[in-house]
Amino acid sequence: MGTDVALFVTCLVDQLAPDAGVAAVRLLEAAGCTVAFPEAQSCCGQPALNTGEPEAAAVLARHFVEVFEPYAAVVTPSGSCAAMVHHWYPRILEGRWAERAEAIAARTYELTSFLVDRLGAAEDIARAAPLGDGVTVTVHDACHGLRVLGLKTSGRRLLEAAGATVVEMAEPEQCCGFGGTFAAKHGEISAPMADDKLAQAAATGAAYLAACDSGCLLHLAGRRRRTGQGPEPVHVAELLGRALPVGDQR
Amino acid sequence: MSLPAETAASLSLADRARRAIGDTNLQTALAKVTAALGAEGTAARTDPDMVERRRRGAAIRREVLDDLDGWLDRLQAKLESLGITVHRAAGPDEARRIVLEIARAEGVKLAVKSKSMATEEVHLNAALEADGIEVVETDLGEYIIQLAHEMPSHIIAPAVHKTVPQVAQLFTETAGRPLPDDRTALCAFARERLRSKFLAAEMGITGANFVTADTGTIVLVTNEGNGRMCTSLPRVHVAVMPVEKVLPRFADLGVMLPLLTRTATGQRLSTYVSMITGPRRPGETDGPERLHVVFLDHNRRSLLGTPYQEMLCCIRCGACLNVCPVYRRIGGHAYDAVYSGPMGAVLTPLLSGGSEGRDLPDASSLCGACSEVCPVGIPLADLLVRLRADLRTPGPAVPPAPPWPGHQADPGAPVGFPGDAPGRPSDAKPGARAARRLGFGAWARLWASPAGYRLSAAAARRLGRVAPPALIRHTPLVRGWGEGRDIPLPAPRSFRQRLAARREDGW
Amino acid sequence: MSGALSAKFAEVLAAVGGRAHGPLPVDEALELLVTLARERAGGGAVAVSTGDPVVHKLGVAERLAGAGLDVLTPDDVFWRERLADAGVGITGAVAAAAASGSVAVACGPGAPRATSLVPPAHICLVLAGTMVEDLAEALGRLLPEPDSGALPSNLVWISGPSRSADLELVLTVGVHGPGSVDVIVVEG
């Protein structure tokens, strides 16, 4: 019994952090899914919306709708992109387009939530990608996934099922300072916010700082390379992916 | 060190933020206040007892906004039946003129003020002082910033950025004698100094937390007792009421008051809640002989019927400031506005008709903690996103409201004017704005085409690999990123390329 | 029922720095009042809102004068000036809310606003029968019909002593209003 899903890999992951995308495919397959990758996909449109250009974002929203409409389920390794589809597509599109977007949003899922809540596949993943109990991880709750989609437990569940020890930082729900264009436009505020997050992560003593959003992770990793502070930022999927056997076909 | 208002106005938001982040006293104070009050706001959100109260509070606020003009008319009739004089001020100029005329008519030499953000919004003190009237802020925090000639840095604790030694110095200068770095002594000084003002003042000026339409009751929420002093001792009381403060029913206070106090400070109720229903009555020994209420519009009514109408639900609890990760780092002065934090970033460009705070909506990571904690459910983060779009062109984000029927607006009272306020670092010039719009439009269409995405991504990857880091660092947007972080370079192979090669790669 | 409410009221009021006493029968309440008034007044006058219905009903002013205290009443020609030097102000209340430790003090002829505000201490007498669970209930009782004729020109809900946290967020008590608040709950 396989579930057919289409992967929305996101422009960030495609270009800058492909390991998370590869891991997403392998984890979905380990959970028994057949993963399609519609080649025509590009970007959910957040950068345009956040810069105050909703018309441009709507162009990309309509493209997303057309690309993914044929599929029964859409899965993405980015909480913020899934949140964009759920929360903003119905607001920046109108009439029939908005209805179509709502229908697709209802079957668009963030990766870890899909695996754990939808498929109940935490144990399957754990078997395929055992982390071993020496692995300590602290989790950053990326804002849009948390507040728009209610993501809180699925990433942790996957990690713990796979044997990792999750150590909570003082404020896992505090924004890391990425905010998309905010990070570039207000680097003077964004960087100290990253420092706060990295300091809290460092205080846990964990080896990894995991999240379900590559934007946050790239921002934190970039800051960490400058300051040397904090554990290695890594996508939950990518961390599990490293535990998948090399050369495994299924 | 904190910024006097004149200095703040000449720096950009980014520079003010940098100064704030580098100010260790301020960072300590901010950490303290946001941790303490933020915990209360979050507790108020998650407490099962509060869930129903938040829902009802949100409903009451929206009930008013569905017919704001109607509720104001009903409230005015009720207030007038109690012997209260009601004035309507379309904007700050008119509000100042009204209060000044009352002060002149009453021969006021000294006015005592209880904390009122609305009066700061219209810069009332300056207008009265220019006319030779002494105005004394009596809320301890407001008294401190008045002496320091600064703006409030937090809506609930306006002087939170000041250390005890800094206050001691301020009070020493005022007292003309040395005062110790001791809270009790400093409070005792303030109490004694302000008491003589309370007793001598001819006029008390307050805001209004709520005003109930069915009974005409003005409600003031305070902790120190200065609000009570201002409304008991002087012979005239003027309450400046932003139009959205009207509540339908006296009974609604049972929902709204604990909602406000719990969310703002964790208190079940503030120490004093004054419910004022009319001026002094025959046979009474104290209380104002004359009571005036000024309805303040200042572009609030222009928000009705737009997505920004939601912002008028705000009950000024300050919870959004306390949970905002940006506010926590940069503090209130960096916003250079009367209202700071997320609510200030939304309100300032809207109330000013686009003449102030145009850059504030950009100073947010859109994390949504504000929307989450708001006790009346204002989607603050969404409003910030909308403002980024609606402030693309000069002038206000929304068209001005029609004047009140039959209301003669002050002819010389601009309620907002097109373009940026003089002397402020402006946002992009028209050419740059158009270029941005075209650029994003073109990018979107390019990336909505599969070939366009593939080709442009491939080009960017090649460029990223061959361009020297120094060049990358100076490209706009990328430069901002590169200020504090290493710039991520495109991966050697994109996900698409790796997917295509999965068989060879063996996964 | 009233016992549980009073206990809750006392607990909450204590938590915000006030003190609750009782419920006590009238005579004991008045005896306690004399003791507290003498302590709080510290040699100064005892200001009494004689026009307040509870104060009037209990004969407070007479009792205090009989105990040798310097009683200042609102009909005194120098009320306003002498109030500034009084050591304590005594009022009644029209209601009390246990959930917030609050008393509702109304003004009226012979019951000035300043009695519970200007002196450094405040003692409030409240009838146990007027104590309810919370503010919402109290407001409903005060105003069953929206008719502002029933509302006084000034009704203040007092929950403990005056306070400020404006100096580095540390609490200071007794800033402008009284720093000492006692509530005596009287049976009936």
Looking at residue B61, its pLDDT comes to 96
Evaluate if residue B448 carries a pLDDT over 60: yes
Q: How many CB atoms lie within 10 A of CB B268?
A: 19
Residues 6+ apart with CB under 8 A from C165: B157, B223, C171, C172
Looking at residue B5, its pLDDT comes to 56
Taking the CA of residue C173 and the nearest CA in chain B, the distance in Å comes to 8
DSSP string for residues in A85-134? IIIIHHHHS-HHHHHHHHHHHTTEEEHHHIIIIIS--HHHHHHHS---TT
Taking the CA of residue B368 and the nearest CA in chain C, the distance in Å comes to 26
Residue A249's pLDDT band (cuts 50, 70, 90):
very low
Residues in chain C with CB shorter than 8 Å from the CB of B225 are: 117, 162, 175-178
Phi-psi region of B423 (alpha: psi -120 to 50; beta: other; left: phi over 0): left
In chain A, the percentage of residues whose pLDDT exceeds 70 is 98
Q: Residue B472 is encoded by which pair of tokens?
A: 């990358």
pTM: 0.94
Taking the CA of residue A102 and the nearest CA in chain B, the distance in Å comes to 18
Residue B477's pLDDT band (cuts 50, 70, 90):
low
CA geometry: angle B263, B268, B270, nearest 5 deg: 85
Across A231-240, average pLDDT: 97
CB B92 within 8 Å of CB B411: no
Determine contact: A136 vs chain B, CB below 8 A.
no
Put simply, the answer to whether A48 touches B496 (Cβ < 8 Å) is no
**Amino acid in the structure at residue B7:** T
Determine contact: C89 vs chain B, CB below 8 A.
no
What ipTM does this complex have? 0.96
Put simply, the answer to whether B448 touches A17 (Cβ < 8 Å) is no
Put simply, the answer to whether A42 touches B330 (Cβ < 8 Å) is no
Looking at residue B75, its pLDDT comes to 98
Q: Residue A214 is encoded by which pair of tokens?
A: 């590559």
Beta strands in C112-169 (DSSP E): 121-127, 131-132, 154-158, 163-167
- In this structure, what CATH number is given to the domain that contains residue C140? 3.40.50.10420
CA geometry: angle B54, B116, B299, nearest 5 deg: 75
Whose structure tokens read 């002498």? C82
CB B220 within 8 Å of CB B231: yes
Looking at residue B76, its pLDDT comes to 98
| Touch test A–C: 3 Cβ pairs or more under 8 Å | no
Mean pLDDT score across all residues of chain B: 89
Compute chain C's Rg from CA coordinates: 16
Q: Please give the domain boundaries of chain A with CATH numbers for all domains.
A: 3-114 (3.40.50), 130-242 (3.40.50)
In degrees and rounded to multiples of 5, residue B148 shows phi and psi of -85, -5
Phi-psi region of B283 (alpha: psi -120 to 50; beta: other; left: phi over 0): left
d(C-alpha B143, C-alpha B224), whole Å: 12
Determine contact: C162 vs chain B, CB below 8 A.
yes
Nearest to A175 by CA among B76, B328, C126: B328
Taking the CA of residue B109 and the nearest CA in chain C, the distance in Å comes to 21
Evaluate if residue C147 carries a pLDDT over 70: no
| Residue to test with chain B: of C80, C164, C181, C183, most B Cβ within 10 A | C164
Determine contact: B254 vs chain C, CB below 8 A.
yes
Looking at residue A247, its pLDDT comes to 62
Chain segment B215-226, per-residue pLDDT in tens: 999 999 999 999
Chain segment A91-124, per-residue pLDDT in tens: 999 999 999 999 999 999 999 999 999 999 999 9
d(C-alpha B123, C-alpha B96), whole Å: 8
CB A143 within 8 Å of CB A87: no
Taking the CA of residue B346 and the nearest CA in chain C, the distance in Å comes to 26
Q: Residue B333 is encoded by which pair of tokens?
A: 């002065």
In chain C, the percentage of residues whose pLDDT exceeds 70 is 96
In chain B, the percentage of residues whose pLDDT exceeds 70 is 91
Put simply, the answer to whether B367 touches A59 (Cβ < 8 Å) is no
Residue C3's pLDDT band (cuts 50, 70, 90):
confident
d(C-alpha C125, C-alpha C93), whole Å: 6
Across C3-22, average pLDDT: 95
| Domain spans of chain B, in order of start | 60-301, 450-505
| Residue to test with chain C: of B150, B271, B289, most C Cβ within 10 A | B271
Nearest to B4 by CA among B147, B182, B156, B197: B147
Chain segment A2-30, per-residue pLDDT in tens: 799 999 999 999 999 999 999 999 999 99
| Touch test A–B: 3 Cβ pairs or more under 8 Å | yes
Chains touching C (at least 3 CB pairs under 8 A) are B
Taking the CA of residue B503 and the nearest CA in chain A, the distance in Å comes to 9
Put simply, the answer to whether B372 touches A147 (Cβ < 8 Å) is yes
Number of residues that this document lists for chain B: 507
Q: Could you say which architecture CATH assigns to the domain B60-301?
A: 3-Layer(aba) Sandwich (3.40)
Looking at residue B479, its pLDDT comes to 64
d(C-alpha B34, C-alpha B181), whole Å: 24
Nearest to B245 by CA among B115, B72, B490: B72
By CA distance, what is A182's nearest residue in B? B365
Residues 6+ apart with CB under 8 A from A152: A141, A146
d(C-alpha A94, C-alpha A79), whole Å: 24
Evaluate if residue B200 carries a pLDDT over 60: yes
Q: Which domain holds residue C82?
A: 2-186
Per the DSSP assignment, residues forming a β-bridge with C115 are none
Residues in chain A with CB shorter than 8 Å from the CB of B371 are: 147
Residues in chain B with CB shorter than 8 Å from the CB of A248 are: 507
d(C-alpha B89, C-alpha B298), whole Å: 8
Mean pLDDT score across all residues of chain A: 95
Nearest to B488 by CA among A46, A11, A174: A11
Looking at residue B421, its pLDDT comes to 42
Q: Tell me how many domains chain C contains.
A: 1
Evaluate if residue B500 carries a pLDDT over 80: yes
d(C-alpha B269, C-alpha C163), whole Å: 13
Evaluate if residue B422 carries a pLDDT over 90: no
Looking at residue A250, its pLDDT comes to 40
Cβ-count burial of B248 within 10 angstroms (0-12 exposed, 13-18 middle, 19+ buried)? middle
Determine contact: A228 vs chain B, CB below 8 A.
no
Q: Which of A87-96, A179-188, A239-248, C80-89 has the lowest mean pLDDT?
A: A239-248
Chain segment A133-146, per-residue pLDDT in tens: 799 999 999 999 99
Across B349-358, average pLDDT: 94
Residue B90's pLDDT band (cuts 50, 70, 90):
very high
Q: Collapsing DSSP states into helix, strand and coil, what is residue B65?
A: helix
Across B13-33, average pLDDT: 92
Across A41-65, average pLDDT: 96
Nearest to B329 by CA among C126, A195, A54: A195
Residue C174's pLDDT band (cuts 50, 70, 90):
confident
